[in-house]
Chain A
Amino acid sequence: MARAAVLGRLTWQVGTVAGVRDETPTARTIMLDVPGWPGHQAGQHVDVRLTAADGYSTQRSYSIASAPGSTSLELTVQRLPDGEVSPYLAEVLAPGDPLELRGPIGGWFVWDPENAEPVLLVAGGSGVVPLMAMIRTRAMSGSQAPFRLVYSVRAPDTALYAGELADRARSDAGLDVTYVYTRSAPPGWPAPAGRINTDILTAGQPAQPGQAVFVCGPTGFVEAAADLLVDAGQEPRTIKTERFGPSGGQT
């Protein structure tokens, strides 16, 4: 059961873009400095608000990608075609610009480093962002909880954090990373491109008692993965889901 702190009402804060880092040709990470940032838990998100000169404003939610660290927080934004907000965040926003946000938000889809139980992370596309925060938090905290990431992407060049995940799979003891390529697999990949299935999710093992599961990504992906896990014996109440919506992200 999540602790509930009495937090105070959520209000808008202004952060400054400290830097940006391209992750793929269509996605980038934004590093933000937010004075007075209270810190956050892995899995939480922020709401971002953009305002045009005539006062028109709109907001979107983005998962926090970073473990608590030197910048206040990092967001990874996937540019969606015909999006209203994602092209601005992925292409226009620049270091030194202000960005209005509020958070951290969400107490359910979070991983607490004090939990020692094994964790299965199932990511579809940009759904990997909050799960990456969990992986980074695990490393930073020294947690030995066994972590397994199953990351479904269309093709190798659409995978976020590929280099870092490869490094961590080697160096973070107890972290296992498995990819699923749905449209095109890398040369030499042992399996043809295809959707996630039970064998990949369970690694051929029966459902581990005490295993916590986090599934995040487009709605269709989350439902398919959660159904497969339940059918394979995972207790539904142990599966936490964060559906990003049909397009898999915030336009």
Chain B
Amino acid sequence: MGIVSRGFGGHRRTGGEKLPPGQYLVTGFPVLSAGPTPRIKLDSWELKIRTETGESRSWDWAAFRALPHEDITVDLHCVTKWSKFGTAWQGVSLDTLLTGVETTAQFALARSYGGYTTNLPLADLLHGQAWIAYSYDSADLDPEHGGPARLLVPHLYLWKSAKWVQGIDLRRDDEPGFWESLGYHNYGDPWREQRYWGD
């Protein structure tokens, strides 16, 4: 540990039971990115779900927006230690998107415009745990925050909520994504503080 800096407190680190270990609360919404913000035109946007057998289903923007959607309010936890409570989104549940999909796959890989990827167990996308979100705080999702649409999986660290989502591949084998292949935890549960390999 470094020497203690007299009189330095830093970001507020107490949030009661709602703050996972090691996190601090923010009121803003920090923008973190691994690359330039993709500019995606709605008329060429497509979301594609592929199964392990090669079958796929896809939606263009109109078809996607015609699907049943939900309003949800969730807390966000970023592995860089900031948390934001009570964020309001509108999106389509992965349960809706995966209705009727036949698969024995246990894993999923989310792919983004711009090349980013992140992996998670298929089970973590189901049962009301994940959405493709297109609206934040009652407005169209800003490109900086992943618009037109991003994956939202709030029970895991926010790097799993892939911005600019383009597709989800259902896989028999687990393929580590962009950060999972370079030191970040393969699962990423904020409540068990699973930030890095071996945590």
Answer whether A and B touch in the complex at a CB cut-off of 8 Å: yes
Residues of A within 8 A of B (CB): 12, 14, 49-58, 84, 88, 92-93, 97-100
Residue of A nearest to B12 (CB): A84
Measured CB to CB, the nearest residue on chain A to B7 is: A92
Q: Roughly how many angstroms separate A55 CA and B22 CA in the complex, as a whole number?
A: 11
Please name all residues of chain A whose beta carbon is closer than 8 Å to the beta carbon of B9 when the two chains form the complex: 52
B34 within 8 A of A: no
Q: How far is the CA of A58 from the CA of B43 in the complex (A)?
A: 43
Q: Are A100 and B10 in contact (CB under 8 A)?
A: no
- Contact of A92 (CB < 8 Å), options: B2, B3, B4, B8: B8
Is chain A's binding surface mostly helix, strand, loop or mixed? mixed
Cβ of B13 within 8 Å of any chain A Cβ, yes or no, is yes
Among B2, B7, B11, B13, contact of A100 (Cβ-Cβ < 8 Å): B2
Q: Which of A55, A84, A97, A98 contacts B11 (CB 8 A)?
A: A84
Q: Complex: how many Å from CA A97 to CA B4?
A: 10
Instruction: Kindly list chain B residues whose C-beta atoms are within 8 Å of the C-beta of A56.
Output: 10, 13
Sorting the interface of chain B by its residue count into under 10, 10 to 19, 20 to 34 or 35 or more gives 10 to 19
* Distance, CA A119 to CA B119, complexed state (A): 49
Asked if B10 and A53 make an inter-chain contact with CB atoms under 8 angstroms apart, the answer reads no
Residues in A with CB closer than 8 Å to B4 are: 51-53
**Does the CB pair B5–A99 fall under 8 Å?**
yes
C-alpha gap A54/B5 in the complex (Å): 11
Q: Are A52 and B8 in contact (CB under 8 A)?
A: yes
Cβ contact of B2, chosen from A12, A88, A97, cutoff 8 A: A12
Q: Please name all residues of chain A whose beta carbon is closer than 8 Å to the beta carbon of B13 when the two chains form the complex.
A: 54, 56
By beta carbon, the residue of chain B nearest A99 is B5
Q: With both chains docked as a complex, state the minimum distance between the C-beta of A225 and any C-beta of chain B, in angstroms.
A: 20
- Complex Cα distance, B140 from A64, in Å, reads 43
B1 at the interface (CB under 8 A from A): yes
Is B6 in the interface zone, CB < 8 Å from A?
A: yes
11 CB < 8 A contacts A-B: A14-B3, A51-B3, A51-B4, A51-B5, A51-B8, A52-B4, A52-B10, A92-B8, A98-B3, A98-B6, A100-B3
Chain B residue numbers with a CB within 8 Å of A98 are 3, 5-6
- Tell which of B1, B2, B11 has the most Cβ of chain A within 10 Å: B2
Separation of A88 and B7 alpha carbons in the complex (Å)? 8
Q: A51-B1, A55-B1, A57-B1 are in contact. Are A97 and B6 (CB under 8 A)?
A: yes
Q: Shortest CB–CB separation between residue B12 and chain A, in angstroms? A: 10
The minimal Cβ–Cβ distance linking B1 to chain A, given in whole angstroms, is: 5
8 more A-B contacts (CB under 8 A) besides A57-B10, A93-B5? Answer: A12-B2, A14-B3, A49-B2, A51-B1, A52-B4, A52-B10, A98-B6, A100-B5
